[in-house]
């Protein structure tokens, strides 16, 4: 067993329960103890390859646009760590980022808990510990994995301690924070969306793993691992680990394991694209579909539809979005689009999968290729702005409904003439007087003169 592994595993003290040594998790040097070590052969490659510095945190260069992460990367130590919420797909580096933040913040002590196995009592223990650390001029950094698993009451219990700075939390979740977490907690935290690791970043991760484990990895094998992992570093390293063990079983002692495309294909299967209806990816895919329709890119729209369907999305959810798009984006330019989208919803409710995918493809194609007009949508937005700006303007008396004798005596309805008497167009005033004086116009799309 190599010295790095000995240091990592011998440093864990079982008496400290949930207290986590950041240096141990990241594989940094610590004093050895006499406790039994675990052979590195039993440690998953994804754990052994966890980045030990920001320079090894590949595929997340976008994070360093934020001053906090940039300062941590540059070695600045006098930094106040705010409470942070990290959300993104599995394997995108949320836990690793939390550990790197703690490793580069010497004034903070990390405590790690999982929301799946802990609750309010563990939180109160952490608060008590934070208060003790405060007297020693230290602060507690509480990492809460799967924070969306906590109930509203448990999340609310965090608020006063985050508010007064007793603790800083780093919450990690695969779900969209705006949906799974209480707004009061979200408003008190820096929210960071962790993106899937890019192909270039995945390539660097695989290359580093090959160098650390003394592997020969064919370029075709690396490309296949990148394809199958879909930006998930844990999945990529697991596949590489399985391929490594397979290669080791077929070579002599002392030979270098050779990972080929065939090896990778034998130890893994094509994975269905990840799709969780409560995750941020769910909303990203739906957004990509609608924006592709709006942009008249039928090929992109068909791709995102396929991603949603293969991922197991409910066809009724897709149909609802198409109905909105048919009215908001296509609108008056082709009103049949709304009829078709409504029919698609009926098919989703009565036909179901797999046949309804044909109806969805039909509808998505039509809406993508249809002319676009947002006149009605934009007109409503302008009218709503006028209502908010001017308040509840009175209804002109000639438009009021004369209810009973009192209504008639008040002059309600007097002066109103049915437009059909004048060929369908009447010159009477329909807008409130103040808007008429301002020359208000809400429907201004000149491309549709036949509708005016």
pLDDT per residue as tens digits for the range 73-108:
888 877 888 899 999 888 889 999 999 998 888 888
Low-confidence winner among 323-327, 348-352, 405-409 (lowest mean pLDDT):
405-409
**Tokens standing for 42?**
């039993």
pLDDT tens for residues 285-342?
A: 999 999 999 999 999 999 999 999 988 888 999 999 999 999 999 999 999 999 999 9
Q: How many CB atoms lie within 10 A of CB 398?
A: 15
Please say if the pLDDT value at position 15 is more than 60: no
Which among 257-266, 397-406, 421-430 has the top mean pLDDT? 257-266
Please say if the pLDDT value at position 13 is more than 50: no
At residue 16 the predicted structure's pLDDT band, cuts being 50, 70 and 90, is very low
Provide mean pLDDT across the span 171-200.
89
- pLDDT at position 439 is 84
DSSP string, 116-182: TT--HHHHHHHHHHHHHHHTTT-EEEEEEETGGGS-HHHHHHHHHHHHTTSEEEEEEESB-HHHHS-
- pLDDT at position 157 is 84
Exposed / middle / buried, residue 110 (Cβ in 10 Å: 0-12, 13-18, 19+):
buried
At residue 21 the predicted structure's pLDDT band, cuts being 50, 70 and 90, is very low
Please say if the pLDDT value at position 420 is more than 90: no
Topology annotation, domain 280-369: Zinc Finger, Delta Prime; domain 3 (1.20.272)
* Residue ranges of the chain assigned to CATH 1.20.272.10: 280-369
* Chain centroid to CA 17: 32
Record the pTM.
0.62
* Residue ranges of the chain assigned to CATH 3.40.50.300: 3-193
Q: How far is CA 59 from CA 165, 192, 206, 302, 389, in A?
A: 31, 15, 12, 28, 46
* Rounded (5°) CA angle 227-230-236: 75
Topology annotation, domain 199-267: Helicase, Ruva Protein; domain 3 (1.10.8)
Determine contact, residues 340/363, Cβ cutoff 8 Å.
yes
Cα separation, 425 vs 444, in Å, equals 19
Q: Please report which residue ranges of 230-297 form alpha helices under DSSP H.
A: 233-248, 261-267, 280-294
Pick from 209, 173, 182: which is nearest to 89 by CA?
173
Output 449 or 213, whichever has higher pLDDT. Answer: 213
Burial 244-280 (b: 16+ CB within 10 A, else e): bebbeeeeeeeeebbbbbebbeebbeeeeebbeeebb
At residue 30 the predicted structure's pLDDT band, cuts being 50, 70 and 90, is very low
- pLDDT at position 412 is 65
Low-confidence winner among 97-101, 250-254, 433-437 (lowest mean pLDDT):
250-254
At residue 2 the predicted structure's pLDDT band, cuts being 50, 70 and 90, is very low
Low-confidence winner among 79-83, 252-256, 380-384 (lowest mean pLDDT):
252-256
At residue 236 the predicted structure's pLDDT band, cuts being 50, 70 and 90, is very high
- pLDDT at position 163 is 85
* Chain centroid to CA 268: 27
* Residue ranges of the chain assigned to CATH 1.10.8.60: 199-267
Cα separation, 313 vs 282, in Å, equals 8
Provide mean pLDDT across the span 108-133.
84
CB proximity list for 339: less than 8 A, separation 6 or greater: none
- pLDDT at position 22 is 44
Burial 182-208 (b: 16+ CB within 10 A, else e): beebeeebeebebbbbbeebbbebbee
- pLDDT at position 274 is 57
Which H/E stretch holds residue 336? helix 336-350
Low-confidence winner among 206-210, 253-257, 326-330 (lowest mean pLDDT):
253-257
Q: How many CA atoms lie within 13 A of 307 on its CB side?
A: 21
**Tokens standing for 382?**
């302008």
Q: Which CATH class for the 3-193 domain? A: alpha beta
Provide mean pLDDT across the span 170-184.
87
- pLDDT at position 288 is 94
């Amino acid at each position: 067993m190599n010295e790095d592994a000995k240091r990592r595993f011998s440093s864990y003290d079982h008496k400290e329960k949930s207290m986590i040594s950041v240096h141990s998790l990241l594989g940094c040097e610590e004093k050895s103890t006499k406790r039994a070590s675990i052979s590195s052969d039993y440690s998953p490659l994804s754990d052994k390859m966890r980045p030990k510095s920001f320079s090894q945190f590949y595929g997340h260069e976008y994070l360093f646009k934020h001053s906090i992460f940039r300062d941590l990367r540059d070695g600045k130590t006098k930094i106040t760590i705010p409470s942070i919420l990290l959300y993104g797909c599995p394997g995108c580096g949320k836990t690793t980022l939390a550990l790197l933040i703690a490793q580069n913040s010497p004034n903070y002590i990390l405590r790690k808990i999982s929301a799946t196995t802990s609750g309010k009592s563990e939180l109160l223990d952490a608060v008590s510990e934070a208060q003790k650390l405060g007297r020693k001029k230290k602060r507690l950094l509480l990492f809460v994995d799967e924070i969306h698993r906590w109930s509203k009451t448990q999340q609310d219990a965090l608020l006063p301690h985050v508010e007064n700075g007793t603790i800083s939390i780093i919450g990690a979740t695969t779900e969209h924070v705006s949906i799974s977490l209480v707004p009061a907690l979200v408003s008190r935290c820096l929210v960071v969306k962790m993106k899937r690791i890019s192909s270039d970043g995945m390539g660097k991760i695989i290359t580093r793993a090959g160098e650390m484990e003394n592997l020969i990895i064919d370029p075709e094998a690396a490309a296949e691992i990148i394809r199958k992992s879909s930006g998930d570093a844990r999945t990529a390293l697991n596949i590489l680990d399985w391929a490594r063990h397979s290669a080791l079983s077929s070579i002599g002692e002392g030979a270098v394991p050779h990972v080929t495309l065939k090896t990778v294909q034998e130890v893994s299967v094509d994975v269905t694209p990840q799709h969780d209806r409560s995750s941020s990816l769910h909303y990203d895919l739906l957004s990509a579909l609608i924006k592709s329709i709006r942009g008249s890119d039928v090929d992109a729209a068909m791709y995102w539809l396929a991603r949603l369907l293969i991922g197991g999305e409910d066809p009724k959810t897709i149909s609802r979005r198409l109905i909105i798009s048919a009215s908001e984006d296509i609108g008056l330019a082709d009103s049949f689009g709304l009829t078709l989208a409504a029919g698609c919803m009926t098919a989703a409710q009565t036909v179901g999968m797999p046949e309804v995918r044909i109806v969805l493809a039909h509808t998505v194609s039509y809406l993508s290729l249809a002319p676009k007009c947002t006149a009605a949508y934009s007109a409503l937005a302008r009218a709503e702005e006028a209502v908010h700006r001017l308040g509840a303007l009175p209804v002109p008396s000639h438009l009021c409904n004369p209810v009973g004798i009192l209504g008639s005596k008040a002059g309600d309805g007097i002066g109103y003439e049915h437009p059909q008497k004048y060929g369908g167009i009447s010159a009477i005033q329909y807008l409130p007087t103040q808007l008429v004086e301002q020359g208000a116009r809400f429907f201004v799309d000149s491309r549709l003169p036949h509708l005016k």
